[in-house]
Amino acid sequence: MLPVSIADMASARGSSRRVPDNESSIAYVQMDGLAVMKMIKHSHEESTGNMEVAQGALLGLVVENCLEITNCFPFPKHNDESMDEEEYQLAMMRRLRRVNVDHFHVGWYQSADVGNFLSLPLLESQYHYQTSIEESVVVIYDTQKSARGFLTVKAYRLTPQAIQMYKDNEFTPEALRNLKIGYESLFLEVPIVIKNSHLTNIMLSELADMIPEEEGTKFLDLGTASVLEGQLRCLMDRVDELNQEAIKFNRYQQQVIRQQQDKHRFLQKRSQENAARQAKDEPPLPEEDLNKLFRPIPVPQRLNPMIVSGQINTYSQHISQFCSQSLAKLYITQALQNAKEGKSAP
Amino acid sequence: MSSSRFFATGSDSESETSSEEEQVQRQPATTFTFSDEEEETKRVVRSAKEKRYEDLTNIMKQIRNFKKIKDMSSMLTSFEDLMRAYTKALPVINKEEKGQTPRFYLRCLIEMEDFINDVWEDREGRKNMSKNNSKSLSSLRQKLRKYNKEFELDIAKFRENPDQAEDEEDEEKEGEGDSEPDDAKPSSFRKAGSESSATDSKIMKKPPEDEEGSEDSTDWGTDSESDTDSSDDETQYASVRERFLKRNTEKEEEEKKEKKEKNKERKEKERKQRKEEEEDGEGGWERVKGGIIPLEKPKMFAKDAEIDVNLVVKKLSEIIAARGKKRTDRREQIELLHELQSVAEAHHLGPAVAIKIKFAIVSAIFDYNPKVSDAMKPEFWAKLLDGISDTLDLLLSTPDIIIGEQILEENEVFDEPPYKVRGCVLTMVERLDEEFTKLLKECDPHSNEYVERLKDEKMVASIIDKVQEYLERQSLSAELCRIYLRKIEHLYYKFDPDVLKQKQGEIPSSAVTSVQVMEKLCKYIYAKDGTDRLRTRAILAHIYHHALHNNWFQARDLILMSHLQEAIQHSDPATQILYNRTMAHLGLCAFRHANIKDAHNCLVDLMMTGKVKELLAQGLLPQRQHERSKEQEKIEKQRQMPFHMHINLELLECVYLVSAMLIEIPYMAAHEFDARRRMISKTFYQQLRSSERQSLVGPPESMREHVVAASKAMRNGNWSACKNFIINEKMNAKVWDLFYEADKVREMLTHLIQEEALRTYLFTYSHVYDSISMPTLAQMFELEKPVVHSIISKMIINEELMASLDDPTQTVVMHRSEPSRLQSLALQLTDKVNNFVDSNERIFEMKQGNYFNRGGNQGGFRDRQNFIRQGQDWGRQRRDRGENRAF
């Protein structure tokens, strides 16, 4: 499996090298093969062990508009109480510096299954990273997909709007609308380039030669049912969740409308009363604080629905990608089959 | 002579010291003598009106005490109390004494006046007094003078002849009877009984009447009038007692010198006595009454009064008039009535009077317990039972008597047949029945006491029978309906094994069983009842009874015909409870008849809420904080069923869960991927889920665990495991043995489990088969081949199973047309997305300000929230509606 992914890596490098310049300070992320391998190793260890999310720190340097990630180390598991996390990180970096490794903390990585990485904690920690270290990125490694032969490593940065939103700490619909932020504009994907040293490349080519030819034909494996089923189930859960949110919002709307009506009625009554009093030469009733009578109903927070929509979005993308690939494979197999039959028939 | 003695305290030139001493001794002695005599006698509490008198006498006693210790300030306050108490008592006094000031009160005033004059004159003593005391003395003197002016006339009268009674009493006391100044007094007052007391009272009355100046003397001379109120007598009596006090003191004075040592003894005794009195505040008073009780009876009627019907009736109404008043002693009332009854019997006044009195006794017993919610005491209950059955016996034996509520008091006829008496047997019996229920609820259902009480059920039932007999004689349909319903309510929950025996032909069909009785009673009510309530209750009881005796079809037809389900929410709680009980038994009956769906439907409403206990009124749920107020709880407690009428909840739940299992498991298997699958039984799902949540599932212990384990076995089509979970020793002991014919039920259940397991198996595993041979299936599930054949055919017809039967080979050939897992998932997803689109649309609509039809939307919307799957259809409909709306 690994050789395949490395080969993929190589191909990915070629395609995504030339990316259009973004306004952000970092145009692309260049990852060292070693860092990627370390990250992958850690993630798989975690996912096979107890299905937990693996997290770690990325070390590297900023070179002009490129963030070079040259090394990484995993975070300890949370359940270990005796160790102080920050201390551990600092000690780790200090030691790495001693062996002459880049010790500039430039971000963090996290493992994910298909598309479920988008979550509140992720947003929050990335916000903290990005506010303290301007250039930092979060790298998401998809264990499941990679295990099926598609290396999926993605680097994300929060958009300025998202940072602004977090800064305001306001997730009302108005605030979000003013920021023009949606699930699409929460994150900005930064292209990743994997760079290997020449020596590594040479070794890879040598290894590629050593792989027997038949081994490479696995790419026609369809494996549709189970993957698609799993993804569909996840998608359904998300849709349900989003539906709940929509219902919540709907209820809120109704409440607001009812309150508005009440308020209106109250005001009308008050004005009538005042008119009557004026006719009798009495002082008008004192103005009461309307907000006290009608407490504004708390607006439901929109952050969660946004995240859920983001998740749905990734799931859908994945599913459509998977389906198109599968369809292509099906056509290929059909063609191959036909060719084989044609060959054997005469 | 003694009268002069009395005044001597004030006017004579006895030395101050001695007089003081006297007073000190006087009081103890009086109390003593007076209480001494009652020690032997029985104590009975008397009319509550006496309370006022009691207050007065108590205060007077205090004043006397203060006199002794010359505590002027306390005396002043006591005097003020006395004045207040007197004004309070005035209405009573006016009534009782015909506007005259009671003599004992006057006496007290006079005494005080004398005493104060004494003290006042004793200048030296005054000087020695504390400042406070002397101040009080002067103010007391002034007040008293002022106050006494009001009674000047009375006091003057009193001073003129305070003696008569005293004299005579003196003699009695001393037992010497030396000088009898007055004429008509029978000397042996204490033993004498009737007339002496009557005459006594006459004497007491005398002075006031004198004042009135009319027919006093004649009155006095003759013996007492026959209709003196007992309470009246007592009042007099109280004053008589006062007399005793006085007289005794005087006697003391006389004998003082000789009997000083004796006095000391007495004082001690008296102190004890007083302590006792203080201990039981009212007890003291009761004792006084007790002293009178032997005199009481005769007072009811004058000694030689001619006791006839009118007299007795008059007396009766007098006694009854006191009923319900605050101060009336209820126990005393009952006793009085009993006395009256014996008097009436002694004089053979006829059945009408006897019945009238008995009615009064019964209602007095009912009244004895002031709280409606509490049960009466067992001894009264026994009395009540006897009383009522006596009355009824009498009623039944005298046919020429008419009893009715419509007869007015004036129209009652007691002397000659046909007698007419006001009263209602029916209400009485209904009340009795309610009391009986209360009584049962009161005691612990697991104690012997309960069993003992329950034995009275027979009595109650026989009383009801008697009333029924009586009413049948009169044939008033409305009342007959009521008594029939009473009878029905005692009958409907009782299981009569004869019914089943009759069905099996063991007993000839001519024998009358409870079902026939019910039938007769209920039909009468259906035909004659004017109120809906009775009919509803009768029909419910009828259904219950049928269901209890396995008459499933009759019960079902009745409930379907009655259309009760629609209207039952509007009836009163008691009827609703009966309805719930009926449904429970109907469910059980359906289960016994293997009508699983019906059983489930009957029970689902009861079980869904998780409040079966409350619904069947078999106990209150522990309440969460202030969910109900005290009153509410009381009301709910009143509604509870007595224990012997309870339905076994575990049985009920088990039957429900098993029926749910038999329906739900095949359904679940059939609709595994169906997005529109809905839960048939929420409770059952809860049980399943809670067991799934457990990380380790041990062998089943409780009934629920057994059912859950059985359901799991059934899911896999493992019928024998399922059967073993449902029918085993534990479950037999817990549940199945409670059925009348347990073996039949078990047999039925096994068969059902086999069938449903087969269905489940086919649903679950059909996709792995291309074809299944029916003989194999029959072998697997130990069913007959035709049975298997019919089950599979039914499934195919209902399009539950996509297959066809191949007859020659005896196999089922699968068609494989069900959607694959992925397809069904995709379908599910589309549904969900549809839902989501709906809610999104609604948000959008709201923004547009389109509020039409919102109510309709909300309904579907809430449903979906609780239970998304169920919402699918809704979503569709709603969206259609939404589209319509758009135009």
Q: Give residue limits of the domains in chain B.
A: 48-160, 309-475, 648-767
From CA A245, how far away is CA A223, in angstroms rounded? 34
A236 interfacial to chain B (CB closer than 8 Å): yes
CB-count exposure of residue B479 (10 Å: 0-12, 13-18, 19+): buried
Q: Which chain B residues contact residue A257 at CB under 8 A?
A: 846, 851
Closest chain B C-alpha to A239 CA, distance in angstroms = 7
DSSP labels, B185-198:
--S-HHHH-HHHHH
Q: Which chain A residues contact residue B821 at CB under 8 A?
A: 225, 229
pLDDT at A218: 59
What stretches in chain A show pLDDT beneath 50?
Answer: 1-22
From CA A9, how far away is CA A151, in angstroms rounded? 7
Q: Which chain A residues contact residue B826 at CB under 8 A?
A: 232
Total residues belonging to chain B: 887
- Chain A residue with CA closest to B866: the answer is A244
Query: Are B361 and B337 contacting, i.e. CB atoms less than 8 angstroms apart?
Result: yes
Is the Cα dihedral B282, B287, B288, B290 positive or negative? Answer: positive
pLDDT at B245: 47
From CA A234, how far away is CA A308, in angstroms rounded? 11
Q: How far is CA A107 from CA A58, A65, A74, A131, in A?
A: 5, 15, 12, 12
From CA B821, how far away is CA B200, in angstroms rounded? 108
- Chain A residue with CA closest to B845: the answer is A250
pLDDT at B371: 67
First to last CA, chain B: 118
> Which residues face A188 on adjacent strands?
A157
Structure tokens at B175: 């037992």
From CA B144, how far away is CA B116, in angstroms rounded? 9
What stretches in chain B show pLDDT beneath 50?
Answer: 1-42, 44, 165-252, 254, 259, 277-298, 852-887
pLDDT at B423: 72
Q: How far is CA B274 from CA B29, B30, B56, B163, in A?
A: 11, 12, 17, 27
B833 interfacial to chain A (CB closer than 8 Å): yes
From CA B205, how far away is CA B233, in angstroms rounded? 11
Structure tokens at B517: 């009785």
State the best of A174, A231, A236, A322 to mutate against chain B, taking most chain B CBs within 10 Å.
A236
Q: Closest CB to A240: pick one of B820, B822, B832.
A: B832
> Which residues face B477 on adjacent strands?
none
Cβ A225–B822 below 8 Å, yes or no? yes
Local structure of B610: helix, strand or coil: coil
Q: Which chain B residues contact residue A242 at CB under 8 A?
A: 836
Q: How far is CA B616 from CA B581, B642, B643, in A?
A: 6, 11, 12
For B400, residues 6+ apart whose C-beta sits below 8 A from its C-beta are B417, B418, B419
**Radius of gyration for chain B, computed over Cα atoms and rounded to the nearest angstrom:** 43
pLDDT at B717: 83
- Chain A residue with CA closest to B843: the answer is A250
Give tens-digit pLDDT for A171-183: 777 777 787 888 8
Name the nearest CA neighbour of B50 among B362, B383, B326, B418: B326
Structure tokens at A216: 């490479």
CB pairs under 8 A between A and B: 54
State the best of A245, A247, A259 to mutate against chain B, taking most chain B CBs within 10 Å.
A247
Structure tokens at B400: 């020429």
Strands B803-806, B771-773: pairing is unpaired
CB-count exposure of residue A121 (10 Å: 0-12, 13-18, 19+): exposed
pTM of the model: 0.54
From CA B411, how far away is CA A326, in angstroms rounded? 104
A261 interfacial to chain B (CB closer than 8 Å): no
A246 interfacial to chain B (CB closer than 8 Å): yes
Query: For chain A, what is the mean pLDDT?
Result: 79
Backbone angles phi, psi at B408, to 5 degrees: -80, 160
* Single-letter amino acid code for the residue at A268: Q
Q: What angle do CA B504, B505, B511 make, to 5 degrees?
A: 120
* Dihedral of the alpha carbons of B235, B238, B242, B244, in degrees to the nearest 10: 120
From CA B254, how far away is CA B178, in angstroms rounded? 14
A240 interfacial to chain B (CB closer than 8 Å): yes
First to last CA, chain A: 38
pLDDT at A214: 64
The DSSP call for residue B372 is: S
* Dihedral of the alpha carbons of B368, B371, B373, B375, in degrees to the nearest 10: -30
Query: Are B875 and B834 contacting, i.e. CB atoms less than 8 angstroms apart?
Result: yes
* Single-letter amino acid code for the residue at A329: K
A338 interfacial to chain B (CB closer than 8 Å): no
Q: Which chain B residues contact residue A224 at CB under 8 A?
A: 822
* Single-letter amino acid code for the residue at B24: V
The DSSP call for residue A118 is: -
From CA A319, how far away is CA A313, in angstroms rounded? 10
The DSSP call for residue A17 is: S
pLDDT at A211: 77
Is the Cα dihedral A15, A16, A22, A25 positive or negative? Answer: negative
Cβ B829–A235 below 8 Å, yes or no? yes
A244 interfacial to chain B (CB closer than 8 Å): yes
